[in-house]
Structure 1
């Protein structure tokens, strides 16, 4: 599982007449940051696809909220008793905590003549199940050259005198479409080259031999096969440690002696890299695994936080709203100075090119390629907006992403701080 940390998988069993203890689960989940407990806990709850609930099942659901782990159950029964008087039910379940892998499926396999059916769980790796990583390369010199052209059909449809709010929306929409078309036509997608060094040939051959020995020991678990597999595991571990030390030495020797290089190296070593959002626990005790479900879960949490409080004094609210309507009905007393060409040019020059774009996909780098006529068009649009006290409709939308809060459980929607990516034109 490339890109994922250590994952501990524990096979568990709890006899039916024994009590489920919080201390046992707490100790098991402290084995590592990412732990999966899989087995028969004899803990049934109707929220876990079971036909009925028992004491330990109710206790397990409560512990899931206190210890911050997810309960994953198959949709069909895993226990089919030989006694016809007993009902089939779900007994074999998985408890997951800190696992940042996509759950593809969990299903019961009908392939063994046993009262307990095997359960298959598929976890998508961070990179293995995903298509090859690509990046978009843009020829910004070509973008700059095309944006210098004046006779553009889509821009020629913009009226010379922008007066109404409809004219504003039409003009800004045509401008956004033109910029997006130019950037798309000047961009292409290429695969991301991995900067990871290939392993030496003798180490790769040793790893293949180790895998073959492990498969042989699993099929024929004799003392000789197990001893041979363990010996190869020790050899692979030693060789991999030597390779890491050699790569670190080559990196230190190859960097140039400058403050920027040392700062970049320190930043790279401290940066953990992007980590996918784990499965999120919903308020109704269910779990969101799919990306769309996670997005809806985060959106519901933001909506709950930003919901209006019930008014306590309706008369006071009425007076405030009436005063606001009265003030808005009068023309503004202090007229703002009109925006000039130099104001827009200076603001575009000060934009940071590493800022992420919003829904319109227009980056700060694209605005820096503007010609003088395009800047003049922006000046006219913004001046009409100020005159009409109008805010651009295209700039009212934002892309909201969730940044995990430090030292908070990442499986709770409330542990993510919403960050809005605003339109570059709206700034």
Structure 2
């Protein structure tokens, strides 16, 4: 399907309702900005957005089940194009969408480049070219340029007289289907449809391509439809499988724990498979009501009738139902917004419900699939398997890396840790008496409070654990106590699938632009595999980092900041919880209260200033854009503190407050650090700091 929409977001609902059965969509004039998030449920999106200007942009949407990868994303002069290669029963096929604006010129080198990438290609696009001998009403300048390309002989066009653009009483064929041999022989059933929305404009073009596309392998992760789960059957089957595990067997070695864990995991998974269906992956367009869908179908029927009869009555009928469709879509959006807003006024709101409502308006963390090329260490990855392995290599080599112990402090920590380990081994015989066993009631209490988080590689969801049986709790208590007693986490629970979130405004082709999120087993929160679409990378070891929610992260933070309140006076009390700090005081006058709190805040400021100064000299080497962002934050804070309007100049703010700008303050610290190093005759530090100063001076010049 091909269409020029002059704004994809405006017409998404109608496109999904009308053309959802088509596997490949070519869309011109998307009007999307490069930083704008956009997705179509069930499709991989390949975009080339217009830079620094309004309008334009092209998009290819390929159904997610089809094997494909981006092979071209380019703008040559004003010609915008994106091309994707798919696997078919007849070999590789390149599909490209091209948009050429009315004032632009057709660039033959773009079409030559597409053909050189793959001589079996299909090109769809609004070329704004009219060529009379190929079905247009007349020939324009771009029609002459198109004719020159066709005369080269490697491309042919669908030769029909279907008009693709209508405005008032003017109709013309300016959208084209171009293809090489033998692909063009497989194209049939070409037809046009009613323009989208309420205006006469470009008509959607649909056709059938008689080729079978190769499908991606099914995802190794099982996804269950919990809405259709038979929980009574699940609990019955779970007990049947658990009864096959010998409760009397002793867990005395690490191997015993690993074997027991695998058996327990298999019991839960088998019970889930028998009691609940797998998610079928069907795409539902929940934004459009059934009434709207029927009106859209009726609109296209009436349009065809009018174009066939050219009857004035049929024309008026079409215009009327076109308005009804537009109003119905608007009403659907209003109803959806009303339903979302009503959730905010509910008497009881769970945190998950609040977050789901927030996500409707704020899609910063929306998972965005990127289907283009990925580049890492001079390696270019195109397909999902190559990308997954590139991410695995990047995370293994640069992110989850255990840093070498080089300083005397590290050696001191290692010595102390080794001493503690030796002491623990000596007390192994009496360890059983040093902790209270985990009880079944404690496990039940925890299971009831589990959030509905995504499952790990074992596919066990927290909903399944919430529907526990007494026998499952007994098995969990046994294995948890064995784990604590022996200090061994089962290997099965250390595996994770990593999904990727693109960081805001980052380059999509670079692995470092993605934030990894590890999905671990719900039974334990460490090998990992990167998951892209339905493909997993090779497994690799995680050598650093802590699981989200682990008490170790805040504990390490507390160890670093434990002395931050040492100089706070007795008249002020304080509270620390991980990275949150609160100061409070009491007094019989506001003036005294203000003085006490300010004194305490100043003492705290002295503590963290001494920590910050260590980083300032290194920060000086950063990009100017980072300095600019930091300066904006400082300016906003000063305006808020002084109650100044947003248009107040930066110079006035710093002149009035006598507070130096961030970069100037950092340079002062750098010069002081150089002077201090020279005083103590620390030649190494002096040399390093002066090198940083020279880099700074060079960047400013």
> Which of 28, 35, 38 is equivalent to 1:8?
28
CA distance in 1, matches of 2:324, 2:347: 29
Quickly say closer, same or farther: Cα 1:254–1:275, change in 2 above 3 A.
closer
CA distance in 1, matches of 2:299, 2:326: 14
8 Å CA contact 1:279–1:294 kept in 2: the answer is no
Matches within 5 A, 1:337-348: 337-348=436-447
Q: 1:277 — aligned with what? A: 369
CA distance in 1, matches of 2:457, 2:93: 42
Offset, 1:175: 0.9
The yes-or-no answer on 1:207 pairing with 2:300 is yes
CA distance in 1, matches of 2:368, 2:119: 20
Q: Secondary structure at the match of 1:302?
A: helix
Quickly say closer, same or farther: Cα 1:76–1:379, change in 2 above 3 A.
closer
TM-score by length of 1: 0.60
Provide the aligned length of Structure 1 versus Structure 2.
348
> Which of 322, 327, 346 is equivalent to 1:242?
327
The yes-or-no answer on 1:178 pairing with 2:267 is yes
> Which of 167, 182, 187 is equivalent to 2:276?
187
Q: 2:487 — aligned with what? A: 389
The yes-or-no answer on 1:168 pairing with 2:253 is no
Q: Secondary structure at the match of 1:31?
A: coil
Q: Secondary structure at the match of 1:417?
A: strand
Offset, 1:384: 1.8
Quickly say closer, same or farther: Cα 1:420–1:253, change in 2 above 3 A.
closer
Offset, 1:72: 4.6
Offset, 1:360: 1.0
The yes-or-no answer on 1:402 pairing with 2:426 is no
What do residues 239-272 of structure 1 show as CA deviations (whole Å, max 9, x unaligned)?
4322223445666899997733999796585376
> Which of 440, 443, 454 is equivalent to 1:356?
454
What do residues 139-165 of structure 1 show as CA deviations (whole Å, max 9, x unaligned)?
112222344559722x13x65222111
Quickly say closer, same or farther: Cα 1:70–1:397, change in 2 above 3 A.
farther
Q: 1:92 — aligned with what? A: 112
8 Å CA contact 1:8–1:36 kept in 2: the answer is yes
CA distance in 1, matches of 2:337, 2:383: 41
Offset, 1:174: 1.0
Using the TM superposition, name which of 167-176 and 382-391 deviates more: 382-391
Offset, 1:415: 3.1
Quickly say closer, same or farther: Cα 1:310–1:206, change in 2 above 3 A.
closer
Q: 2:155 — aligned with what? A: 117
CA RMSD of aligned residues (A): 5.5
Offset, 1:397: 0.6
Offset, 1:296: 3.3
The yes-or-no answer on 1:26 pairing with 2:124 is no
CA distance in 1, matches of 2:357, 2:407: 57
Offset, 1:341: 2.2
- Of structures 1 and 2, the one scoring higher in RCO (CA 8 A, sep 6+) is 1
CA distance in 1, matches of 2:514, 2:445: 35
Q: Secondary structure at the match of 1:395?
A: helix
CA distance in 2, matches of 1:180, 1:36: 40
The yes-or-no answer on 1:374 pairing with 2:460 is no
Offset, 1:315: 8.2
Structure 1 segments unaligned to the other structure (5+ residues): 11-23, 38-47, 50-59, 64-68, 78-88, 95-104, 123-128, 217-223, 225-229
CA distance in 2, matches of 1:262, 1:310: 47
CA distance in 1, matches of 2:293, 2:489: 60
Quickly say closer, same or farther: Cα 1:246–1:379, change in 2 above 3 A.
closer
Quickly say closer, same or farther: Cα 1:250–1:328, change in 2 above 3 A.
closer
